A and B are shown apart, each in its own frame.
Chain A
């Protein structure tokens, strides 16, 4: 938030780059990545056959690579990407490489302040994590998924502890998967682990575990909840605490459990639970009946529900309101809908506190609350162009490409990052002009 206050909120328009010009200049221009503050736009360009490099605001890196991906700007505007050359992967931050090289590098993850970078790596035929270029000395048979602690100092990944011979169904069932934190595996192993997450104080790690072919629970720092369930979904720590909530399936249906104790009513399905910023309220996606989806806040489902999808709930900064992407089809099982759009089907919208916006769109991105929690906006797609919609009203301008808009700290203006006429612009626009 502090960083946002330091951005340029006065200059109405900056014409940053002519993408069409890039397309004329280079044989190939790939997808565009904009920085959070809108000042920079990056892409991968081809220089000659099978050689690629990056181009940031027209600045072309003289080094070339065979592969480039995971282009990202940190919140403090450093440019990161994974590069591949001569059978080695390397991570580059503003054209400077980490010393270590890898056989594989993926799951590029940033700490919330963007100052710490973690990746899953494969090196010397073994798997682990590299944090800011410091690669775990302990490495394993396989590693999947990564978690970086909120303070950016600790990492965890899901690891396979033993090699398995082909078809060894018995060895598998003994449990050869666990979590490794900062390179140290938990003592206990499981048939499967997934959904790894750190506590807000960065001290604890929680994960979903599967004991055998049918029993599931949550484990924290290697210790499992006493109760086992028919299924569980990803655990989540409560802000400023070590309490954990996770959806669990009991014989009555899905409910939410806190530290192993079910506390909500049961639903046909329940997932993607989220805490309000003040940690006092919980919202989650629930299915009150088969084929209907909605949001429940503190165990009270919204009155409206939707046929196709409800995406994860988003709380307002004051913790009082909840918004979510919703999708309805009047005839979800229409045979034709696989081939072309059937009238009344695939209608995306935003619902705020249970009430959907009056209009609908071809696509809707995540809702964004204003700092004062009074307005909700989202990037939407209509007739193949991208617009900003505020409180259900679609904006005047349609863009060729649009990134999520950002509210100014006072909530009066919007930062718009967009492509129009083949050019990338950074604009600051008063809300009433949208």
Chain B
């Protein structure tokens, strides 16, 4: 009972932003935000903000000065529309409450402010780019939100689940922590499955000079193994000469992109192209 009440009150409890009084949200505990900010210092925050904004501050200021606060971008945003048109979910508000404030305060913001920024850019925006399309001045709001994500990433302040998947990419280059042998095992096992139904139906690994290389999403060999079997059947029926790579990188997703971990993003893309070059394939087919 006591636990139930505690949960209930936690859900009801609201947090009101000390910087923007209109920004009121449910308390939503997340160690990726609550614990990580304890390691921040004002110096580290300022240095990181300046490093990311760097030579681009005039570009951001131009956006700040060009924006006429017309609110057209709001109509593009699923978060705004699905929250009773609460203006704090409007794309322009997301810029105003994060990077514009950082610029105004010349990078001198505190850890709580960073936590709030992380909550806004990671949990109230999907980087879908619709707002940028709606803005009459073509202001690239999503690019700016991405910069805030980059600042939060470098400070290590990211919701736990998102950071965990991004860290999986750092080491395994797939988002599900799949070991190299498990990847190969799944492919061979799926080949046994389909091989029982169709003579000569393959899940071909490292076929040199194949026309197509299929690059699944990480979840497919982990929890959706039947996708591999079905893809093999489709390729067979379509008469496609295809393959899958034995080596990293085979996961075509990039959680690194969502947290703006530029280095891992590059390693992923480079790894996909390295496999394409190594196997001399002509087309890459990605799951989406």
Q: Which residues of A contact B (CB under 8 A)?
A: 27-28, 30-31, 49-50, 66-67, 69, 84, 104-107, 120, 122, 127, 142, 144-145, 160, 166-167, 169-170, 172-173, 177, 191-192, 210, 213-214, 216, 230-231, 271, 309, 311, 325, 338, 346, 362-363, 365, 381
User: A169–B167 contact, CB under 8 A?
Assistant: yes
How many residues of chain B get a CB closer than 8 Å to chain A's CBs? 44
- Mostly, the B contact residues are helix
User: B280–A192 contact, CB under 8 A?
Assistant: no
Residues of chain B within 8 A (CB-CB) of A27 are: 199-200
Q: Which single residue of chain B is at the shortest CB-CB distance from A103?
A: B181
Please, could you name 7 A-B residue pairs with CB atoms under 8 Å apart, sorted by A? A28-B200, A31-B204, A170-B35, A191-B171, A214-B263, A231-B262, A338-B283
Instruction: Choose one: A107, A231, A311; the contact of B266 (CB below 8 Å).
Output: A231
Residues of chain A within 8 A (CB-CB) of B100 are: none
User: A191–B163 contact, CB under 8 A?
Assistant: no
Whether, in the assembled complex, B78 has its beta carbon less than 8 Å from a beta carbon of chain A, the answer is no
User: B192–A50 contact, CB under 8 A?
Assistant: yes
User: A363–B280 contact, CB under 8 A?
Assistant: yes
Q: Which single residue of chain A is at the shortest CB-CB distance from B187?
A: A69
User: A213–B154 contact, CB under 8 A?
Assistant: yes
**Bound complex: CA of A206 vs CA of B31, how far in Å?**
35
A314 to chain B, nearest CB (A): 13
Which of A167, A216, A325, A365 has the largest count of B CB atoms less than 10 A from its CB? A167
Shortest Cβ-Cβ A-B pairs, 10 listed:
A104-B181, A231-B263, A169-B163, A172-B167, A167-B164, A28-B200, A192-B171, A192-B170, A67-B188, A363-B280
User: B192–A66 contact, CB under 8 A?
Assistant: yes
B283 to chain A, nearest CB (A): 8
B148 to chain A, nearest CB (A): 16
- Mostly, the A contact residues are strand
Contacts A362-B282, A363-B209, A365-B280 given; does A28 touch B199 at CB 8 Å: yes
A316 to chain B, nearest CB (A): 21
User: B31–A169 contact, CB under 8 A?
Assistant: yes
**Bound complex: CA of A365 vs CA of B281, how far in Å?**
11
Whether, in the assembled complex, B258 has its beta carbon less than 8 Å from a beta carbon of chain A, the answer is no
Instruction: Choose one: B156, B192, B202, B282; the contact of A30 (CB below 8 Å).
Output: B202
User: B209–A213 contact, CB under 8 A?
Assistant: no
Instruction: Choose one: B163, B207, B263; the contact of A31 (CB below 8 Å).
Output: B207
Q: Which single residue of chain B is at the shortest CB-CB distance from A168?
A: B164
User: A106–B282 contact, CB under 8 A?
Assistant: no
User: A69–B205 contact, CB under 8 A?
Assistant: yes
Whether, in the assembled complex, B11 has its beta carbon less than 8 Å from a beta carbon of chain A, the answer is no
Whether, in the assembled complex, B67 has its beta carbon less than 8 Å from a beta carbon of chain A, the answer is no
- Tell me the B139-168 residues at the A interface (CB within 8 Å): 153-154, 156, 160-161, 163-164, 167
Contact with A along B160-189 (1 / 0, CB 8 A): 110110010011100000011110110010
Contacts A169-B32, A216-B263, A363-B282 given; does A381 touch B192 at CB 8 Å: no
Contact with A along B19-50 (1 / 0, CB 8 A): 00000000000011001100000000000000
A332 to chain B, nearest CB (A): 13
- Tell me the B37-95 residues at the A interface (CB within 8 Å): none
**Bound complex: CA of A346 vs CA of B283, how far in Å?**
10
Which of B153, B185, B196, B262 has the largest count of A CB atoms less than 10 A from its CB? B185
Whether, in the assembled complex, B246 has its beta carbon less than 8 Å from a beta carbon of chain A, the answer is yes
Q: Which single residue of chain A is at the shortest CB-CB distance from B32?
A: A169
User: A210–B170 contact, CB under 8 A?
Assistant: yes
Whether, in the assembled complex, B234 has its beta carbon less than 8 Å from a beta carbon of chain A, the answer is no
**Bound complex: CA of A144 vs CA of B183, how far in Å?**
12
Whether, in the assembled complex, B240 has its beta carbon less than 8 Å from a beta carbon of chain A, the answer is no
Instruction: Choose one: B160, B179, B200, B282; the contact of A167 (CB below 8 Å).
Output: B160
User: B180–A120 contact, CB under 8 A?
Assistant: yes
Residues of chain A within 8 A (CB-CB) of B246 are: 106
Q: Which single residue of chain B is at the shortest CB-CB distance from A172?
A: B167
Q: Which single residue of chain B is at the shortest CB-CB distance from A230?
A: B263
User: B200–A213 contact, CB under 8 A?
Assistant: no
